[in-house]
Amino acid sequence: MKNAILFVLFCFAGILVNAQNSNVNKANANIQNGKLAEAKELIDLAAEHEKTREKGRTWYVRGMVYQAIAISEDESVRAIDPEAAIKATESFEKVKSLEKEGSNYYVLSEVQALQLYSIVLNRGITEYQEERYEVAYQTFKDVTKIAPKDTIGYLYAGYCAQEDGDIDKALEMFYSAMELDDCPGLIYTQVIFLLENEKQDLEEALKIAQKGMEKFPDDQVFDKSVISYYIKLERTEEARQALIEALEAEPGNANLWYNLGYLNGEIDEYDMSVEAYKKAIEADPEYIDPYINLAYTYTQKAKEIRQEAMDMDLKTYREKGDAIEAKADEYYKIALPVLIKANEILPDDQAILESLSGLYIRLKMKDKAEAMQKKLVELGYWEEN
């Protein structure tokens, strides 16, 4: 009798295993038949059953079922499970944990996961272009679940939330992206912009700018932002002291000298700004930024002097104008060799070429001005008259 009971139990267990395997097969068939709600019910049962939940094929079919739901063009089908894209991704990852690397289902799962990512991402882009920002936001949030270490989903989700007027959601997405190693500087600058212009939180904007400066030491945008916020927060001396202390430790650091020059320029300390830019050039003669800013500082000084002449009435100008214009020209002349050196470092830079052209015109150096203009045309920056 005991043996008979064991035999019955064994047969019954076999029936359950076969039933679950049958569920996997039926679910797979229902993908092709478009019966995705039924396929979901069947595969969920198989994924929970102890006899089939440890099989790679079960999870691969589950991934395919949820993927079919997620990528359907029919919104009623996608409504079967709003988290279908996430569950599909989880299923494909489960396959890889159960199967040997390089095995059939392992490779297929990698391929399908990549395809799912591409389809959902493209759908989100289309929704964004159609200005369906709230829908697109949810789609890009799915992208962040499908590829949590890829910044693009967070970036687009943040943009969608921003366009939809939800700044808090946008910042949430951008901050999440900033936790990733390969987060681009673009996201930092976007956070800084929102903090200043939408949240009016200059202290937090300063903190993000400082993080950006640490992460992207070659990007002057963050250095300038830090200095700008110190000034706006009336912490100028704090910024200056920090730069001076840093220079005491690294007197040959061109970037620090450049930042000190920029800071001094922002608070109208002309002589100190010029001196710092010169130190930056001395430390690194190929560093382009101090040349550009030094030339700008000289030309701004010239414009300030000329403004005095422009504010005169005609009679006074006839008496004193020429002398003031000549004084202004002295600063234009000082700026000229600085810009020429900048042009030597970056010979095809449009802004430098245009600045040189304008400077030559101001100094009545017609031939050189025309040479600059000709080069601008040759490089495609200007159209030939």
Domain of residue 385, CATH code = 1.25.40
* Cβ neighbours for 324, distance < 8 A, ≥ 6 positions apart: 305, 306, 308, 309
Of 85, 101, 130, which marks where a domain is finished?
130
pLDDT of 5 reads 45
- Is 337 within the bounds of a domain? yes
Cβ atoms of residues 17 and 52 within 8 Å: yes
pTM for this model (two decimals): 0.70
- Is 248 within the bounds of a domain? no
- Is 84 within the bounds of a domain? yes
53 and 89 share one domain: yes
Residues in the chain with pLDDT values less than 70 = 1-21, 385
Task: Give dist(CA 122, CA 111) in Å, integer.
Answer: 17
pLDDT of 7 reads 42
Closest CA to 42 of 72, 60, 19: 19
333 and 375 share one domain: yes
31 and 124 share one domain: yes
Task: Give dist(CA 318, CA 312) in Å, integer.
Answer: 9
59 and 162 share one domain: no
125 and 137 share one domain: no
107 and 167 share one domain: no
Token duo for residue 344 = 């030597």
Task: Give dist(CA 116, CA 110) in Å, integer.
Answer: 10
177 and 153 share one domain: yes
Q: How many domains does the chain have?
A: 3
Cβ atoms of residues 109 and 63 within 8 Å: yes
119 and 24 share one domain: yes
Task: Give dist(CA 136, CA 141) in Å, integer.
Answer: 8
pLDDT of 51 reads 81
pLDDT of 20 reads 54
- Is 205 within the bounds of a domain? no
- Is 232 within the bounds of a domain? no
- Is 122 within the bounds of a domain? yes
Other beta carbons within 10 angstroms of residue 222's beta carbon come to 23
The predicted-structure confidence for 170-227, as pLDDT tens digits, reads as follows 999 999 999 999 999 999 999 999 999 999 999 999 999 999 999 998 888 898 888 8
The residue range of the domain holding 76 is 17-130
Cβ atoms of residues 372 and 381 within 8 Å: no
302 and 361 share one domain: yes
117 and 28 share one domain: yes
Token duo for residue 383 = 């159209």
- Is 215 within the bounds of a domain? no
The predicted-structure confidence for 258-283, as pLDDT tens digits, reads as follows 999 999 998 899 999 999 999 999 99
159 and 80 share one domain: no
321 and 371 share one domain: yes
